[in-house]
Chain A
Amino acid sequence: MTTSTTATSGKHVPLPVREYRAGVHDQSRDIMTAWMGQLKDATRGSTPSAYLMISGNCVEILRCFDILPVFPEINALQLAIRKKSLPYILKAEEIGYASDNCAYVKADVGFTLSGGVGPEGNIPVPSLIVCNFVGCNVYIKWFEHCAAMFNAPLVMLDIPFIREDRPSPEDVRYVMAQLDELIRRCEALTGRKFDIDRLREICRYSARAEAGWSRCKELCKHRPAPFDAYFDSINMMGPINALRGTKEAADFFDTAVAEYEQMVAEGRGVLPEERFRIVTEGPPPYPYYRNFRNLFETWGAVAVQSTYSTVGGTWEFGFRHDPDRPLESIAEQMLVHNLCNRTMTDRYAQIRRYVDEWHADALVIHSIKSCRLFSAGQGDMREYFTRELGVPTLMLESDLEDPRYYAEAQMKNRIDAFFESLQYKRIRECAART
């Protein structure tokens, strides 16, 4: 363990690394496991299913027709966090994928080619592929390839990127017309008529979950923060993105809010001692999730906000699905209220707000090779925060899926050096005050 100093004692005492297991984690695991059980059952049953991506998704519409949503990104994430991604990545590279292609796609494709999707696997062959092109261009390629592999119909939902202050009327009409198209395809697939009252009910559940999500994030403004808004957010990202619109997800967030409010009331934080408050940008290295977390925990560093947790939606800034305007609000969510469909400079503004309103000491950028949507240009982001705003910023590089890009020793050196310098900065500031 690197030795450094604390502001008070002059010595860096590494914090004990502990397994964080609160009720939120257990409940998240339970409801996500139940959903995965449904996916497994559907591999041999007749329940219709549809592929969908996470960013600014319209899961409410699928749910309205009882079409089981399947998220290849979650599949890829789980392969990585269980340290199973590499063989599938290599399998995909065998058929021509490049080392420079997004490893999420490669792991998912490799998994499919290995029989993971279908009657012998864990994921049903999709009846429909809903390509919600919300920011990430790779989504289009990924789903084109899936449509070819499964010979499944693809519905394109082309969501215009936010390139003015707000979407134009034509942007909105274009998205609405495509949602209508999706509804017609769902009707044809299921043989059921679209029921807008059912959609209203689903949007009511969505709004309840979003309010809970927002409240949880709000609670991280407290010192100490009741959970790590980067590492622990993953437990909430599954329910908010994949299970949104269900009673289970809404109930889950009610419970999460209650638990975190209690922690705040008791002055308990996620770590025994919160020494640094950071904002984190970029997805985590899932193949080494625990190791990576430990590198921060040992310094008492807690993420009080993260951009990654907002790929699905930026609900902490107030947006809710609206049962009175269900389709319109779904369109607004896809167009405006998610991180992926907004510019890099919009993201700078989001992070700046996080640093200011969540009282962060520093920004940590985790730059990943796979996802250029996140990473391309993060050097400029570092310039902006370090030089123009004076926010201490650390930039790290690895990958969210491919374990070959994670170098633990190098990562540790950089993280230790960064927090040591923050520590000394505090000592100097302390000394100057006295």
Chain B
Amino acid sequence: MSFDEIVQQCRDLNELLPAQALEQARQSRPGLEGFAVFPVYAPVEIIHAAGLLPVGLFGVGGKLEIVHADARFQSFICSIAKSALELFLRDEMSGFRGAVFSSICDVARNLASLVKRNAPQMFIEYLHLPQNMLNERSHEYTRAELDRFRANLARHVGRPIPDESLATSLKLYNRVRRRLRELYAFRREHPGSITAAELCTVVQAGSRMMPEDYAPLLERLLKLASQRPAHPRDSVDVVIEGAFCEQPPVLLIETIEAAGCQVRDDDLLIGWRWFREDVPVNGDALSSLATAYLTRSEYSSVRHDGASPRTDGLLQRVRSAGAQAVIFTPAKFCEPALFDYVPFIAKLDKHGIPHLKLEFEEKMWTFEASRTEIETFAESMLFE
């Protein structure tokens, strides 16, 4: 299969509703059940070790009309919360045992409650991931939180989740994350080799495949990528920031590159590539995951890190990528992204790095205005 064919396969998979994606996975694994993962980060190793397919909940785009959730969530609530709820209200999560949410924002927290109330047959877990990375009890707390999830999930599926299974899952997801880091590095080092739309398509497909299948796919892609001719263009090298939860329409990503920018790095689907390095696999897997969360996480708008402010993280990302500018793509009404925009631009201004903000919504279908904005932005840099 060629690089383009693999990307097309990923694109087709992403077009499916979660239950349809699960159905596809069942073709090679009959009886497989799913477990939904609301962004940003979740310990997917635990879900996988329970014998379930972790499936990212990234909204439904234009694939499902929002009929019921609009009555539960007001007009000023982000699209992803509404479409995630709609899936449960419409009983579109057939084959799923439940879902996990975490303490990323006020909306996600309330959403977890609403899903639990309206889908009583599902097991709904809410994780309070730590916001204090530095306290002497932070590790103990984080490990206990992961263990609580393991125990609750095991109880729900009616079988234990042994340490050995966790260690196996951890190794698999380490392999997946390592390959994703390599793909990102390859793009940074070979501008024009992989488009941003292609890369985010491939990453998103990983949120609906078993890691046993996904890791070889990434390895094949990496091999093919190096044989692929790069097409560097006379464009502005940018970093995309702010789309860590709800994902921008792929057409918006394509528009950014078509209108004169080349994406060198981004935070798209960051929760599925969360760790900067491998999680150690020796010893207690949950302890290793807890340590990694506290010390090896990517910077994120949903994680306070007193030792390493995320403004420094963005600056570092821009510099490592050799980018000239930043394009912020916060989802409409996304408070963490919209709040962080202020200190981010203060930092960028201080270092003379230009930036542009493009808000998006799930059901956005016309990109002409965005295209004009991006073109103007790119031209102002290229011809100044």
Number of B interface residues in the complex (CB < 8 A)? 56
B110 and A377 within 8 A (CB):
yes
**A137-B336 CB under 8 A given contacts A100-B76, A156-B132, A161-B109:** yes
What CA separation (Å) do A378 and B114 show in the bound complex? 10
From residue B258, how far is it (CB to closest CB) to chain A in Å? 26
A136 and B106 within 8 A (CB):
yes
A397 and B340 within 8 A (CB):
no
Q: Which residues of A contact B126 (CB under 8 A)?
A: 161, 163, 343
A141 in complex: contacting residue of B132, B134, B145, B340, CB < 8 Å: B340
Q: Which residues of B contact A83 (CB under 8 A)?
A: none
From residue A366, how far is it (CB to closest CB) to chain B in Å? 12
B366 beta carbon closer than 8 Å to chain A = no
A173 and B335 within 8 A (CB):
no
B74 in complex: contacting residue of A133, A137, A344, A397, CB < 8 Å: A397
A100 in complex: contacting residue of B309, B333, B343, CB < 8 Å: B333
A362 beta carbon closer than 8 Å to chain B = no
B345 beta carbon closer than 8 Å to chain A = yes
Q: Which residues of B contact A144 (CB under 8 A)?
A: 304, 309, 343
B332 beta carbon closer than 8 Å to chain A = yes
From residue A398, how far is it (CB to closest CB) to chain B in Å? 12
A160 and B141 within 8 A (CB):
yes
Q: For chain A, which range describes its interface: under 10, 10 to 19, 20 to 34, or 35 or more residues?
A: 35 or more
B131 in complex: contacting residue of A158, A168, A171, A378, CB < 8 Å: A158
Mark A149-177 against chain B: 1 for CB-CB distance below 8 A, else 0.
00000101110110110001011011011
A377 and B114 within 8 A (CB):
yes
A380 beta carbon closer than 8 Å to chain B = yes
Q: From residue 388 to 422 of chain A, which have CB atoms closer than 8 A to chain B?
A: 397
From residue A31, how far is it (CB to closest CB) to chain B in Å? 32
From residue B153, how far is it (CB to closest CB) to chain A in Å? 14
**A367-B135 CB under 8 A given contacts A101-B335, A161-B128, A373-B106:** no
- Per DSSP, chain B at the interface is helix
What CA separation (Å) do A217 and B201 show in the bound complex? 56
* Shortest Cβ distance from A101 into B: residue: B338
What CA separation (Å) do A379 and B336 show in the bound complex? 23
Q: Which residues of A contact B341 (CB under 8 A)?
A: 96, 98
**A380-B132 CB under 8 A given contacts A141-B340, A372-B105:** no
B140 in complex: contacting residue of A97, A170, A345, CB < 8 Å: A170
Mark B125-161 against chain A: 1 for CB-CB distance below 8 A, else 0.
1111011101111101100110010000000000000
B141 and A156 within 8 A (CB):
no
A141 and B335 within 8 A (CB):
yes
What CA separation (Å) do A98 and B74 show in the bound complex? 18
A95 beta carbon closer than 8 Å to chain B = yes
Q: Which residues of A contact B306 (CB under 8 A)?
A: 154, 156
Mark A245-287 against chain B: 1 for CB-CB distance below 8 A, else 0.
0000000000000000000000000000000000000000000
B103 beta carbon closer than 8 Å to chain A = yes
From residue B338, how far is it (CB to closest CB) to chain A in Å? 4
Q: Known contacts A101-B338, A378-B74, A379-B71; can you find 19 more A-B pairs with CB under 8 A? A: A95-B342, A102-B335, A137-B302, A144-B304, A156-B134, A158-B135, A160-B128, A161-B128, A168-B148, A174-B138, A174-B140, A174-B141, A178-B132, A343-B113, A373-B110, A377-B72, A379-B70, A379-B73, A384-B117
Interface residues of A (CB under 8 A from B): 95-98, 100-102, 105, 131, 133, 135-138, 140-141, 144-145, 148, 154, 156-158, 160-161, 163-164, 168, 170-171, 173-174, 176-178, 181, 343-345, 367, 369, 371-373, 375-380, 383-384, 397
A-B residue pairs, 3 tightest by C-beta: A170-B144, A344-B113, A174-B141
